[in-house]
Amino acid sequence: MAVPKRKVSKSRRDKRRTHQTISGPNVASCAQCGEPVMQHHACPGCGNYRGRNALEKSA
């Protein structure tokens, strides 16, 4: 069974973990109404997706 020969320092351990951060969601603005929208999703405000009406919104 493999056993570490020396203790891994906190600095070395943290250097290895620098790329494991979680980023926030990619948010764009709707071209029709300007409301924030998740990319590749229909707009919850006006219902448009890529210039077409994807969701029927009741007034």
DSSP letters, 1-59, are: ----SSPPPHHHHHHHTTT---PPPPEEE-TTT--EEETTS--TTT-EETTEE-S----
Residue 59 has pLDDT above 80, yes or no: no
CA 21 – CA 11 distance, rounded (Å): 17
Residue 42 has pLDDT above 70, yes or no: yes
At 1, the pLDDT band (50, 70, 90 cuts) reads confident
Selection from 23, 34, 6, 20 nearest residue 43 by Cα: 34
- Report the predicted TM-score, pTM, of the whole model to 2 decimal places: 0.56
pLDDT at 58: 66
User: pLDDT tens across 4-24, in order?
Assistant: 999 999 999 999 999 999 999
Residue 52 has pLDDT above 90, yes or no: no
